[in-house]
């Protein structure tokens, strides 16, 4: 079944523990944590201290999306704070193989993120080392932006690359503008894991919001069969 990962970027930061419990009760699968440095992206969010603070509030995996330059400097601190998954952007990694293995040596599952304008082919040399791939369907930096439909073709391409290499365990995650309409497009193209911020935390009933995204996602899965 498609995994749904609410992004806490759209949660009430003054009540993060309760917000996370709310989506956990609403049957979320992962908790997505957006880390921004004000350099790679034009926004600043949170660091390892907040990851450590939220860790005791949930049993769900914490999925840390690093939108930062020089990620190697901070990976051990995020791992120690309780991250289960860490993804780094292709666009900032000069030594991607080293960075991916630093994440794994820290006992954390490793992913690579591609911006909308970064091509699927850049993944080819590192594919077999990855636990997951994150395809951005917005330009990173903010929640609440519109889904970029041209990325759907890239989801199809990455899904084919993964399947043709027999690497079926690699998750394909999609992030940005995912809601109860766009989820279907993502899973029909091969996505297995959907991040959604405003479409979940922007709604009063988070369980209903997650269920609506899941329903759309499952329609996409069926149409892909
Ligand atoms: O990484 C990011 C934005 O850079 C995301 O995780 C957003 O937080 C998703 O928010 P919505 O587009 O779902 O509102
Ligand atoms: Fe994200």
**pLDDT tens digits for range 143-181:** 999 999 999 999 999 999 999 999 989 999 999 999 999
How many separate domains does the chain show?
1
Atom number in ligand 1 closest to CA 43 = 4
CA of 33 to the centre of ligand 2 (A): 7
Alpha-carbon torsion (178, 109, 74, 51), positive or negative: positive
CA distances (Å), origin 182, targets 5, 197, 199, 218: 15, 13, 11, 12
Marked catalytic residue, from 22, 29, 34, 179: 34
When the pLDDT of each residue in the chain is averaged and rounded to a whole number, the result is 98
pTM value is 0.98
Indicate if 175 belongs to the active site. yes
Mean pLDDT calculated for residue range 54-69? 98
Residue nearest to atom 8 of ligand 1 (CA): 143
Name the residue range of residue 184's domain.
3-224
| Domain CATH number, residue 159 | 3.20.20.70
Q: Report whether pLDDT(91) > 90.
A: yes
Indicate if 34 belongs to the active site. yes
Q: What pLDDT sits at residue 143?
A: 97
Q: Report whether pLDDT(110) > 90.
A: yes
**pLDDT tens digits for range 172-209:** 999 999 999 999 999 999 999 999 999 999 999 999 99
The confidence band for 225, taking pLDDT boundaries of 50, 70 and 90, is confident
Among all ligands shown, which has an atom nearest to the Cα of 197? 1
In this prediction, the answer to ipTM > 0.90 reads: yes
């Amino acid at each position: 079944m498609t995994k749904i990962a609410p992004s806490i970027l759209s949660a009430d930061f003054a009540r993060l523990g309760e917000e996370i419990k709310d989506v956990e009760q609403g049957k979320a699968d992962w908790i997505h944590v957006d880390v921004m440095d004000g350099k790679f992206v034009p926004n600043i969010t949170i660091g390892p201290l907040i990851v450590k603070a939220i860790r005791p509030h949930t049993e769900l995996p914490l999925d840390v999306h690093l939108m930062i330059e020089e990620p190697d400097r901070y990976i051990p601190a995020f791992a120690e704070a309780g991250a289960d998954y860490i993804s780094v952007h292709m666009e900032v990694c000069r030594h991607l193989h080293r960075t991916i293995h630093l994440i794994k040596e820290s006992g954390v599952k490793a992913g690579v993120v591609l911006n909308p304008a970064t091509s699927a082919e850049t993944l080819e040399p590192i594919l077999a080392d990855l636990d997951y791939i994150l395809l951005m369907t917005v330009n990173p930096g903010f929640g609440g932006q519109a889904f970029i439909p041209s990325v759907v073709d890239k989801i199809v391409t990455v899904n084919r690359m993964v399947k043709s290499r027999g690497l079926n365990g690699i998750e394909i995650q999609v992030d940005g503008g995912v809601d109860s309409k766009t989820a279907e497009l993502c899973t029909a193209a091969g996505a297995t894991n959907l991040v959604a911020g405003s479409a979940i935390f922007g709604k009063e009933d988070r369980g209903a919001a997650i269920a609506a995204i899941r329903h759309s996602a499952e329609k996409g899965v069926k149409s892909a069969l």
